[in-house]
Structure 1
Amino acid sequence: MSTHPRICARYFIETAFPPEQAAETMAGEQSTGTFLRVPGETQALRERFAAQVELIAEGEPVAAPSLPGAGTPKNWDGVRRTAEVTLSWPLENIGPSLPNLLSTVAGNLSELKAFSGLKLLDLELPAEFLSRYRGPQFGVSGTRALSGVYERPLIGTIIKPSIGMDPQATAAQVRVLAEAGIDFIKDDELQTDGAHCSFMARVSAVMHVLREFAERTGKNVMYAPNLTGEIDEMLRRHDHVVAEGGLCVMVSMNSIGLPAMKVLRAHSQVPIHGHRNGWGMLGRSPALGMSFVAFSKLWRLAGIDHTHVNGLRNKFCESDESVIASARSCLTPMFPEPLSGCEVMPVFSSGQSARQAPDTYKALGCTDLIYACGGGIMGHPGGPAAGVCSLQQAWQAAVKGIPLAEFASRHQELAQALELFGA
């Protein structure tokens, strides 16, 4: 492998062709080649610019194609093989550009007839990307400093109902949550700038409540309003949040794209809460799209500070193993020391309650996360304050290694939560 900086991408493939031939097809399609060797594609050009096949690890064959439209070779032996393939490209092909990186490592690959399955699993990027992209401005440490929450997760929640409340009703719910002891509140991704609850009016109403609360108690509650929109709208909305004393903004990553995120990151004075809605279209199929590990690395470089990873025993289709792998990836440096960096705070959500806290802590091994619960707070029989308290107690038990039932015998709020949410 060349000593010059290279981009590496690892894939799962499923193919009726020999894996070596399939991998070469991938490399050619995404660099110098086409289906026919052309006169300008000299050996010298290929040696300098062509993608290289770095590794092929063959897996178990499959009985049937996972995706439609796949072809088979002449004299096919009837075996449909799987493998993990690692390709690399010279950085000089595209430079440190996230949009062009996406074209390079994804591009047309999923349409190639040679494959009945192809999914991007992971990326390794040269540190030269840091010359152009700043990565997270706040990340874990900055979020803790702004919120004043240390040595435990931030306990968070989502404004519900998602849409339908006006600014005053939203602010009234925020007041209840702040008085309950919440650390973090976010808009739902469906709540943006509708006529019934405009962004500017909603932020002003909510921040009036939170400023008053902070002046009285000394506690700063982090509210992440959803500023997703056109670039000029997002910058204007960000400035309104900052002017009102806000500590965070939220954006739907897939809705705005990587270049817009880079612009927002350069402008932002507060943490950016990156919502991954739409990732399921990319990640749900084991044979298509890209893993969250790969997906999140793009957005971490672009500048998010938090991102959702789902939660254990969640209401969606994602497995616990995938959730934890995603969260660990968020907290793992993308580059070697001393550059390191790009760690972001994972956000656990979706059907979370006191019940999942010990397993989450055991699997992740730390408390650097936002633990967002809706029913786990608002549905608690003792009210929202008891709901927040029960979650704090569950995490205390988890960190101390005390079984939930034992800890609950001395803490009523936790006992009530365990009874409500069953086994």
Structure 2
Amino acid sequence: MVIATYRVIDNPQALAKRAEGIAVGLTIGSWTELVQTRHQQVALHCGQVEGIEVIDEVSGGRVIAEISIGYPQANFDGTFASLLTTVFGKLSMDGEIRLIRLQIPNQLAAQFPGPKFGVSGCRARYNVETRPLVMSIFKACVGLTLPELVEQFEAQARGGIDLVKDDEIFFTEAYATPEARVVAYRAAAQRVAEKTGRETAYAVNLTGPVHQLQQRAQKLAELGAGALLVNMVAYGYDVVAALAADPEINVPILAHPAVSGALYGGDTYGIEADIVLGQLARMAGADMVIFPSMYGSVVLGEAATARLIGHLRSESVHRPALPAPSAGIYPGLVPQLYRDFGNDLIVNAGGGIHGHPGGPAAGGQAFVEAIRAVQGGWSLADAAKESDVLRQALEKWGTPS
């Protein structure tokens, strides 16, 4: 059974009938419309009410309740389309109701690809074994020519970071195709590596019509892309799963949360963020998952973040994925990031790198120095005495109070 739990606001006397309506309505449709001889035939596919729990009272005599429904595994075909349509399809339009938990048995979860690389595979690919990875976000890329983009990539790579990722809104190919960018950035990374000893990888935004994505991803991997940035919700989980399952696409998938707020943004509607950005992302094959941090202007909150991280790291039939909290990340936050997320982490920054007084190279280096300090057991204040770039970052952004 797949057990889905919903939070509803309703009259207490209506809960049992509503739960039964969900169980039947999302599986066999209706008992009353079936002739008696068909009852036994479809019974194995009928949903079951697993539990009803009143959580709180609200105005007007209504209550907040959690309803759990079990859906037979035989109803699913190993696609996210079948999973989401079954557990929340037409139900998502039925007033104040929110999908808050999904329990998926291992036998069904194993039909989804999960991460091809996972934490250990990404660490091996990027040659980062004992510390968090550092990723920089391209800023100001739409409308720039290829030489201008290469210049910006080189500036970020000089900071010694591990990954530079495209902006997720970079769809236009008027100035530079994804293929041209991969080739040019890889050459730039090799030039920088001759001086720094470290070759920075490039996470290219995978764009284009859905029916062409797999072929384009294969080509980008062949050309040397370091990762594929995929707008996971905009393109769909099944698209991500197809990419992850393809043996010719031998690069990690970096899942971006664009559009996901439309699913989890309400309190009484939609799907919980940890399901959207954690549970389903890992099942689909995301090796690295970007999500709103707890520190910026777009915030998930501690409880939702903890559940999301739990999905990415829990014991499972799939490899664990790397979390990449995003928005509001600056060098002074590095000790807090360690405390909140541990060592298996991507430190992902845009403004915190590009806004450094010394430019993006200095911004990246400040993060590298901050991580080195934490791993060495030093305070950032002490480390800043020996590092001008870290000192400048702390002077500009400070540390959490």
Same structural fold, with TM-score higher than 0.5 when normalized by the shorter chain: yes
Partner residue, 1:354:
331
Which of 157, 160, 185 is matched with 2:139 structurally?
A: 160
Q: Does 1:420 align with 2:396?
A: yes
* Structure 2: distance between partners of 1:402 and 1:211: 32
Q: Which moved more, 1:179-188 or 1:13-22?
A: 13-22
2:5–2:99 contact (8 Å) kept in structure 1: yes
1:331–1:346 contact (8 Å) kept in structure 2: no
Q: How does 1:149-188 map to 2 (within 5 A)?
A: 149-188=128-167
When residues 325 and 314 of structure 1 are mapped into structure 2, their CA distance, relative to the original with a 3 A threshold, is farther
Partner residue, 2:260:
279
1:311–1:320 contact (8 Å) kept in structure 2: no
SS of the counterpart of 2:192? Answer: helix
SS of the counterpart of 2:34? Answer: coil
SS of the counterpart of 2:207? Answer: coil
When residues 11 and 355 of structure 1 are mapped into structure 2, their CA distance, relative to the original with a 3 A threshold, is farther
Q: Does 1:29 align with 2:25?
A: yes
Which of 297, 307, 322 is matched with 2:304 structurally?
A: 322
Partner residue, 1:56:
52
Which of 104, 110, 120 is matched with 1:125 structurally?
A: 104
Q: How does 1:90-129 map to 2 (within 5 A)?
A: 90-112=72-94, 116-129=95-108
Amino acid in the other structure paired with 1:169: E
Aligned length: 394
Partner residue, 2:169:
190
* Structure 2: distance between partners of 1:246 and 1:110: 38
* Structure 1: distance between partners of 2:73 and 2:54: 27
Amino acid in the other structure paired with 1:240: K
Partner residue, 1:13:
8
SS of the counterpart of 2:96? Answer: strand
Partner residue, 2:358:
382
1:23–1:85 contact (8 Å) kept in structure 2: yes
Partner residue, 1:307:
289
* Structure 1: distance between partners of 2:123 and 2:345: 10
Which of 348, 370, 375 is matched with 1:372 structurally?
A: 348
When residues 401 and 59 of structure 1 are mapped into structure 2, their CA distance, relative to the original with a 3 A threshold, is farther
When residues 217 and 317 of structure 1 are mapped into structure 2, their CA distance, relative to the original with a 3 A threshold, is closer
Q: TM-score, normalised by structure 2?
A: 0.90
Question: Shift in Å at residue 170 of structure 1?
Answer: 1.0
Structure 2 alignment gaps of length 5 or more = none
SS of the counterpart of 1:225? Answer: strand
When residues 14 and 399 of structure 1 are mapped into structure 2, their CA distance, relative to the original with a 3 A threshold, is farther
Amino acid in the other structure paired with 2:11: A
SS of the counterpart of 1:286? Answer: coil
Partner residue, 1:142:
121
When residues 205 and 46 of structure 1 are mapped into structure 2, their CA distance, relative to the original with a 3 A threshold, is same
* Structure 1: distance between partners of 2:274 and 2:378: 32
* Structure 1: distance between partners of 2:172 and 2:111: 31
* Structure 1: distance between partners of 2:110 and 2:303: 34
* Structure 2: distance between partners of 1:407 and 1:219: 22
Which of 66, 75, 89 is matched with 1:84 structurally?
A: 66
* Structure 2: distance between partners of 1:270 and 1:145: 12
Question: Shift in Å at residue 255 of structure 1?
Answer: 2.3
Q: TM-score, normalised by structure 1?
A: 0.85
SS of the counterpart of 2:136? Answer: strand
Question: Deviations along 1:66-96, whole A, 9 cap, x unmatched?
Answer: xxxxxxxxxxxx4111122221111112243
* Structure 1: distance between partners of 2:395 and 2:310: 30
Question: Deviations along 1:326-368, whole A, 9 cap, x unmatched?
Answer: 23322223x3xxxx3242111121121123222222222x221
Q: Does 1:254 align with 2:233?
A: yes
Amino acid in the other structure paired with 1:413: V
Q: Which moved more, 1:123-132 or 1:86-95?
A: 123-132
SS of the counterpart of 2:270? Answer: strand
SS of the counterpart of 1:220? Answer: coil
1:207–1:245 contact (8 Å) kept in structure 2: yes
Question: Shift in Å at residue 396 of structure 1?
Answer: 4.1
SS of the counterpart of 1:262? Answer: helix
1:228–1:250 contact (8 Å) kept in structure 2: no
When residues 400 and 21 of structure 1 are mapped into structure 2, their CA distance, relative to the original with a 3 A threshold, is farther
Question: Deviations along 1:87-136, whole A, 9 cap, x unmatched?
Answer: 11111122433211111111111222xxx421112222122235532211
SS of the counterpart of 2:245? Answer: helix
1:312–1:360 contact (8 Å) kept in structure 2: no
Question: Shift in Å at residue 237 of structure 1?
Answer: 2.7
Q: Which moved more, 1:311-320 or 1:168-177?
A: 311-320
Partner residue, 2:271:
290
Question: Shift in Å at residue 48 of structure 1?
Answer: 2.1
* Structure 2: distance between partners of 1:209 and 1:355: 29
Which of 40, 47, 62 is matched with 1:44 structurally?
A: 40
1:148–1:220 contact (8 Å) kept in structure 2: no
Question: Deviations along 1:179-229, whole A, 9 cap, x unmatched?
Answer: 111111111111124212322222222122123334565423121111122
* Structure 1: distance between partners of 2:181 and 2:396: 33
Question: Shift in Å at residue 12 of structure 1?
Answer: 1.6
